Amino acid sequence: MDFELNDDERSLQEGIRSFLTGRCTIDVVRANEETGGALDRALWQELGAVGVFSLRADGFGMTESVLAFEELGRSLVAGPLVASHLAATLMPAAANGSRIVGLIEPSEPVNVAEHLASLDDLIVARPEGLFVVDPAEVIGVHAERPLDALTPITAVSHLPQGELIADAATAHIWHRDGMVLTAALQLGLCLASIDLAKQYAMQREQFGRPIGSFQAVKHLLADMLTKAEVTRAAVYAAAVNIDGRGDSTDLMQTARMAKMLAGDSALFCGKTGIQVHGGMGFTWEVDAQRYWKRACVLDTHFGNSDEHAAAFSAAL
Amino acid sequence: MDLQFTDAENSFRLKLRDWLSSVIPQLPSEPHRNDWIGRREYDSMWQRMLFDAGFAGINWPREYGGLGATPTEHLIFLEETERARAPYVGQNFVGLLHAGPTLITEASAEQKAFHLPAILKGEHIWCQGFSEPGAGSDLASLSCRAIRDGDDYVINGQKIWTSFGHTADYCEMLVRTDTDVPKHRGITWLIVPMGLPGMDVRPLRTLEGSTEFCEVFFDEVRVPVANRVGDENDGWRVAMVTLSFERGTAFVSEMLQSMELARDLAQLAKRVTRSGVTAWDDAGLRRDIGRICAELDALWALTKRNISQAQRTGLVGPGGNVFKLAYAELRSRLGELAMHLLDRASLSIDDIGDLPTHAHVHGRIHALSLGIAAGTSQVQRNIVAERILGLPKER
């Protein structure tokens, strides 16, 4: 056993990180808010060229994929990253980023589609199988103020049945893999929240000293890190299990563990990051809120943490 | 101990309820959330209506045109206005609850005669210029400088979190008048008319996209020395007087809203279905809602204790800090539970899919500010530990 990144895994992750820190700066992310969160096709194709969608179609595993998705989450990259990655094995155009493929899991009390206006294809994931739908045929009401300005949403009133492209077994695997990849994005959000809050705590002075020197603030940051590191272990374990190098045969349980931990941790780190920033954390200008809002969005993908906690106990 | 209202209190309630039921149905609809000029007119209209009916300045002494009501009557006022869905104090907040009470105890006769009636009638809107980018939790370290020049102070610097700075007529402002003394001793309280040459008011966008708050920049702004309240360098004490006006009623309206929202959430859970069963069928969720509703009821009881204490002693005491700490945490939990129940629908700030999304998502976002505004939860804990329990200060 050696449950630590090997050199190849490390260099793959560093490669993705260095691409994203050059191409997807926080300024690029913020500028996207001014265009209503419309996805940038050029960026999407570059992401495709870097391989974030095709990793597994190219022979890499879930392990490499979560390392890449952790970085995508850290950089707050918006859009149907997980959906396009999952679709890459079925649709070559999704793999290279030339088509933007979204996904919706019909939900109650309302069906909510994301990034509908930017999508080329929408996959409807139902328990009985995966169906592809022309996004233009989806009818619904566009929300004027989405919670996350980078995730435009539509309350769907009519969702076409679509054309069956994969069976129930594939849909089940997509749901499971979707959980783990989303959990990796959420892990990235935790890490970015911590970085930002730490920087602020070190530089912001009150009462003549950096606020990070006060125990009350230190403990907030220590709690964030603790949640993030437990989450990291859970996400990596779920990924390694899927790749057949794990310690559990119940891949759904490990996936649920990862998604539940990551959902709760990203929300916790998001809100605590805002708290560390004090009043400034409550402004639009400071990025702390962006991580929290994305955490709210991702918690609803592939089942929220409450759902996974319940499903986890049901399997005991 | 007695939680029942006296006959006098009950008759005050009925009188107010009668009046509210006669005027509320005739009110025009509320302006758009970011239409600050429209909202000023609306809030001022409501304040004028209260004034004409004899309900303005509920907590102000009678000699200054107020009602001189007890904290319990103030509680009743807030309960009834909330029950009737009456407008909130809105842009009159700073004038009625901060600047006004401060002027009442600290201002000169002339200042009082000019400002107090205008606040009561809703004619003058006030904003607050206390916080600065570098002075938040450590407010006394504020550095916005005022230098005496003849009959004027000349102000340079910046203020932040100035609610309604773009519509206000006056600003209650703390400025640094002496840099050579300990920080609390070099601060002065000024009445600053808005719109003076050299002042620049810029909206500050909150994470919800609201522009209620402003940043105000001062470049050689001249304010007459006659606008000073209290002595030069005695502003910290003057500002603290404002705090002593808090009667435990600050969170009454929103407590009532939260209690209603939590009960609404139970009803929502009964009609939201998940995989063929209602959310209410989930024992875990029922427990969470039960816990939150019961804890809110307990905080409501604490609110009444705090108000009673203020009624007896004139001060809220430790219960105020305890309340704020507990409420900020509880309100967050309520918001998080609601977001989880709404699930995908919680991704819109406005109502979608015939669901009461706005109340819950806006409430969740508001809860984020509760642990920050008016003393962060970290500062509150230090106050509880050091001032109430008497533990030694952190080095």
Q: What is the DSSP string of B222-268?
A: EEEGGGEESSTT-HHHHHHHHHTT--S-TTHHHHHHHHHHHHHHHHH
Q: What is the spatial distance between Cα B360 and Cα B383, in angstroms, rounded to a whole number? A: 31
Query: Per the CB < 8 Å rule, is B137 touching A274?
Result: no
pLDDT band at residue B318 under the 50/70/90 scheme: confident
Which residues of B carry out catalysis?
246
In eight-state DSSP terms, residue B198 is T
Question: C-alpha angle with apex B101: B97 to B106, nearest 5 degrees?
Answer: 150
Mutate to test the interface with B, among A33, A103, A105, A110 (most CBs of B within 10 A): A110
User: What does the pLDDT average to over B99-127?
Assistant: 97
Query: Per the CB < 8 Å rule, is A107 touching B343?
Result: yes
Instruction: Compute φ and ψ for B355, nearest 5 degrees.
Output: -115, 150
What's residue B276's pLDDT?
A: 85
Position of tokens 């290279």?
A: A96
pLDDT, tens only, B293-313: 999 999 999 999 999 999 998
User: In angstroms, how far is the first alpha carbon of chain B from the final one?
Assistant: 41
Q: Where are the alpha helices (DSSP H) in chain B?
A: 7-23, 36-53, 71-83, 93, 100-106, 109-120, 235-243, 252-271, 283-313, 318-342, 357-370, 377-383
What's residue A152's pLDDT?
A: 98
What's residue B374's pLDDT?
A: 87
What's residue A205's pLDDT?
A: 97
In this complex, is the C-beta atom of A312 within 8 Å of any C-beta atom belonging to chain B?
A: no
Instruction: Compute φ and ψ for B162, nearest 5 degrees.
Output: -85, 100
In this complex, is the C-beta atom of A217 within 8 Å of any C-beta atom belonging to chain B?
A: yes
In this prediction the ipTM stands at 0.95
What's residue A48's pLDDT?
A: 98
Cα–Cα distances (Å) from B368 to A39, A220, B40, B332, in that order, read 29, 15, 26, 7
Which domains are assigned to chain A? 170-314 (1.20.140.10)
Kindly list the residues from chain A whose CB atom is less than 8 angstroms away from the CB atom of residue B361.
Answer: 147
SS3 A66: helix
Query: Per the CB < 8 Å rule, is B376 touching A275?
Result: yes
Q: Which letter, b or e, does each residue of B177-201 get, where b requires 16 or more Cβ atoms within 10 Å of its Cβ?
A: beeeeebeebbbbbbbebeeeebeb
Query: Per the CB < 8 Å rule, is A207 touching B343?
Result: no
In this complex, is the C-beta atom of A295 within 8 Å of any C-beta atom belonging to chain B?
A: no
In this complex, is the C-beta atom of B131 within 8 Å of any C-beta atom belonging to chain A?
A: yes
A133 CA: distance to closest CA in chain B (Å) = 20
Q: Which candidate from B137, B284, B377 shows the least CB-CB separation from A206? A: B137
CB pairs under 8 A between A and B: 137
What's residue B247's pLDDT?
A: 85
B108: region left, alpha or beta (phi > 0 left; psi from -120 to 50 alpha): beta
What's residue B394's pLDDT?
A: 82
Which domains are assigned to chain B? 7-88 (no CATH), 126-234 (2.40.110.10), 252-388 (1.20.140.10)
What's residue A249's pLDDT?
A: 86
Q: Which candidate from A146, A214, A279 shows the least CB-CB separation from B347? A: A146
B120 CA: distance to closest CA in chain A (Å) = 30
Residues 6+ apart with CB under 8 A from B124: B95, B115, B118, B169, B170
pLDDT band at residue B119 under the 50/70/90 scheme: very high
Give the whole-number percent of chain B exceeding pLDDT 90. 92
Half-sphere exposure of B59 (CA within 13 A, CB side): 27
In this complex, is the C-beta atom of A267 within 8 Å of any C-beta atom belonging to chain B?
A: yes
| DSSP code string of A187-236 | HHHHHHHHHHHHHHHHH-EETTEEGGGSHHHHHHHHHHHHHHHHHHHHHH
Query: Per the CB < 8 Å rule, is A147 touching B207?
Result: no
Tell which A residues from 106 to 165 touch B, by Cβ distance under 8 Å.
107-112, 114, 141, 143-149, 151, 153, 155
What's residue B263's pLDDT?
A: 97
pLDDT, tens only, A106-143: 998 899 999 999 999 999 999 999 999 999 999 999 99
What's residue B275's pLDDT?
A: 79
Residue with the larger pLDDT of the pair B65 and B244? B65
What's residue A54's pLDDT?
A: 97
Is the omega angle on the peptide bond into residue A127 within 30 degrees of 0, that is, cis?
Answer: no
Query: Per the CB < 8 Å rule, is A279 touching B340?
Result: no
What's residue B307's pLDDT?
A: 95
B317: region left, alpha or beta (phi > 0 left; psi from -120 to 50 alpha): left
Element (DSSP H or E) covering residue A31:
helix A26-34
Q: Does the model's pTM come out above 0.90?
A: yes
A127, A171 Cβ separation under 8 angstroms: yes
B244 pLDDT more than 80: no
Element (DSSP H or E) covering residue B59:
none
Query: Per the CB < 8 Å rule, is A300 touching B344?
Result: yes
B344 CA: distance to closest CA in chain A (Å) = 6
Q: What is the spatial distance between Cα A220 and Cα B372, in angstroms, rounded to a whole number? A: 14
B112 pLDDT more than 90: yes
B395 pLDDT more than 80: no
What's residue B87's pLDDT?
A: 96
In terms of CA atoms, which chain B residue is nearest residue A263?
B340
Query: Per the CB < 8 Å rule, is B344 touching A279?
Result: no
B57 pLDDT more than 80: yes
Mutate to test the interface with A, among B204, B207, B382 (most CBs of A within 10 A): B207
Among residues B159, B374, B365, which one has the least CA distance to residue A278? B374
What's residue B136's pLDDT?
A: 93
Kindly list the residues from chain A whose CB atom is less than 8 angstroms away from the CB atom of residue B204.
Answer: 283
Q: Which candidate from B205, B342, B350 shows the least CB-CB separation from A285? A: B205
Q: What is the spatial distance between Cα A124 and Cα B160, in angstroms, rounded to a whole number? A: 47
In this complex, is the C-beta atom of A91 within 8 Å of any C-beta atom belonging to chain B?
A: no
User: What does the pLDDT average to over B327-339?
Assistant: 97
Residues 6+ apart with CB under 8 A from A306: B284, B285, B340
Q: What is the spatial distance between Cα B291 and Cα A208, in angstroms, rounded to a whole number? A: 41
What's residue B41's pLDDT?
A: 97
pLDDT band at residue B110 under the 50/70/90 scheme: very high
User: In angstroms, how far is the first alpha carbon of chain A from the final one?
Assistant: 26
Question: Do the bridges between strand A111-114 and strand A129-133 make them parallel or antiparallel, or are there none, so unpaired?
Answer: unpaired
Q: Which candidate from B344, B371, B382 shows the least CB-CB separation from A275? A: B371
Residues B285, A312, B342, A274, Cα dihedral to 10°? 100
Residue ranges of chain A whose pLDDT lies below 50: none
User: What does the pLDDT average to over B351-375?
Assistant: 95
